[in-house]
Each structure stands twice: as C-alpha cells, then as structure tokens.
A = this chain, B = another copy of it.
C-alpha cells in the first residue's frame, strides 16, 4: 500500500499504523487530527510520515482510510468523505458501536457506501492519544468486522487482510449482533461499575466506604475510571441493546434478592458455582487459544492477575 490515512491518531489508529509499518505493508502514513500537538507527537514517534488538520489533504491519494475518532464525529466525516474519498480507496472505522455507525454511513456516504467496512478492534481505549500506540496492540486480539449488505467483498477482504497482518483475529457479524454482544460483555459491565462507585460517592459518609475498599473493589471498578463522555456516547448509541441487557440483569438481581430473603443457601451456592465454573472455563479457553502461538508474554498477561481473591 502506497498511502494509508488515519483520521484520529490515538491508540487505535496509531497502533494500526505502527503495526502495518512493522509488517512492511505500507509506505506512507498520513494522519488527520484536530490537535496539532498530538499530530506532532505521532510524527516524532514515527507513527505518521505526514500530518494535517485538513481532511481533504489527508485523504488525497490514499488507498485506505481508517476513522478512529469518537463516533460523534463520524456523521460529519462521512458527509465530507462522500466527495473526498479517492476512487478505489477503502474506508473503515474503529467505533465501539456499529448499528449507529452503519446508519450514519448509510445516511451520508451515498454511492461510496460500497467502499465502507465498519469495524471494531477490541483493544484499549480510543482516547489515550498517539503516545499510547504500540505495534503489537492487536496481536491475539479480536477485530470484529460488521460489513453492510452494500459493502463490496473486495473492500471487506482488504480490511480483513490488513487487520490479520496486525496479528488480529477477524470475526464477522452483523452490526445488530455486534451491538447485542457488546451490550452484554462490555457496555453493561461499564454501566454497573460506574453505578456502584457513584452510588457510594453520593453518600454523605461515602469516604468511610472507600477507606476500606480493597483489591476486589479495585478490579470490579477499574472500568469506572473510563471516559465519561465516551461512555455516555456508547450508552446512548447502543441504548436499546443496553436497556435489554440491563433489564435482564435487573431480573437476575431480583432473583438473587429473593434467594437472600428466603435464606436459600443452595440457590446462592448454585449461582456462584455456575459463575465461577463458567468464568474459569472462559479463561482456560482464552489461554488455550494463545497456546500455539510463540508469544509467551501475552499468554502470561492473560494468565496473570487471576488469583481469585475470595476475601477482599
């Protein structure tokens, strides 16, 4: 590839560029951003060869354009790219929600819709800036593609091939299925974690609780340190699937509350045992999936931090 354009040069876009450069698959990377300071950092770090704040300049002569901006900016970008995207170029994105991105693309991309392949790299936070980018970020990670019926097979194959070159697994599903799955395994846990911390923080005697919180609390609430604006946007973008998951979870809490009210020791133990068994099986499968690959460090990363901490 002669030229790749990254719109929004943060962890996601910067790592994609570094990884493809490391694989020798791209000659020149152009970055488009709103913050000159971040672009300068990306130039210094060798992520970018050129940087500009102009989308028109940035995509000129590009063969592939990755939108790794907040989803809130994508409608406007699609509107401009309808005319700016060079003939033959492929467009993809890295947004955390996919039905809304698909709808925006459909509304604004016009006849260039066939060249768009929506995607979601399951790795890290978008807002961490270019300095967080790493060539190996996507190694052993999943990058979900959610092609539209209109997406050209050639464009889909191209995007898949590039993510695979970054070391990623590249499953495909519909935007709706993507959003349903991530509502359950990512968006709901974020909501639950934020909810717990805020409920304690609002109490007049909240300080007392935090004072005794230990490592179990720390890990349960790690995602409650995530970016409020980003998670506001994700929650609203995936509102319907998230509401459905939230309702299922509320029903589950009612069930557990009933068990507590009835002193149902066997019922509680069964829930806890199923949970532990399912989680441990999931971890084992994750470890196995990494086993055949020679990268012991990543395998340890998954295995690490996993001593079940019954007490804190």
Residues of A within 8 A of B (CB): 12, 96, 122-128, 141-142, 144, 171, 181-182, 184-186, 188-202, 206, 208-210, 212-214, 216-232, 235-236, 239, 242-243, 246-250, 252-254, 256-257, 260-261, 263, 265, 268-269, 271-280, 282-283, 285, 305-312
What are the 6 tightest A-B residue pairs by CB atom distance, in nearest-first order? A125-B310, A201-B278, A228-B272, A225-B308, A197-B275, A228-B273
Taking a contact as CB atoms closer than 8 A, the residue among B191, B278, B307 that contacts A206 in the complex is B278
A230 touches B181 (CB 8 A): no
A11 to B189, CA, bound (A): 30
| Nearest B residue to A302, CB-CB | B218
Taking a contact as CB atoms closer than 8 A, the residue among B201, B257, B263 that contacts A246 in the complex is B257
A257 touches B249 (CB 8 A): no
A220 to B184, CA, bound (A): 13
| Nearest B residue to A12, CB-CB | B311
B222 touches A216 (CB 8 A): yes
Given contacts A232-B265, A274-B201, contact A250 B257 (CB under 8 A): yes
B142 touches A212 (CB 8 A): yes
Taking a contact as CB atoms closer than 8 A, the residue among B199, B254, B308, B311 that contacts A122 in the complex is B311
A276 touches B225 (CB 8 A): yes
B312 touches A195 (CB 8 A): no
Copies in the complex: 2
Can you list 9 A-B contacts with CB-CB less than 8 angstroms, sorted by A residue number?
A: A123-B312, A125-B311, A142-B212, A186-B312, A197-B279, A221-B279, A229-B269, A243-B261, A305-B305
A308 touches B200 (CB 8 A): no
A253 to B271, CA, bound (A): 21
| Nearest B residue to A232, CB-CB | B269
B208 touches A190 (CB 8 A): no
B212 touches A144 (CB 8 A): yes
Given contacts A124-B309, A181-B209, A188-B196, 4 further A-B pairs with CB under 8 A are A197-B278, A225-B280, A232-B272, A236-B260
Return chain B residues, CB-CB under 8 Å to A219: 219-220, 222-223, 305
| Nearest B residue to A183, CB-CB | B209
Return chain B residues, CB-CB under 8 Å to A202: 274
Taking a contact as CB atoms closer than 8 A, the residue among B124, B142, B182, B220 that contacts A192 in the complex is B220
B212 touches A279 (CB 8 A): no
Return chain B residues, CB-CB under 8 Å to A306: 222, 225
Q: How far is the CB of A75 from chain B (nearest CB, A)?
A: 16
Return chain B residues, CB-CB under 8 Å to A195: 249, 252-253, 256, 271, 275
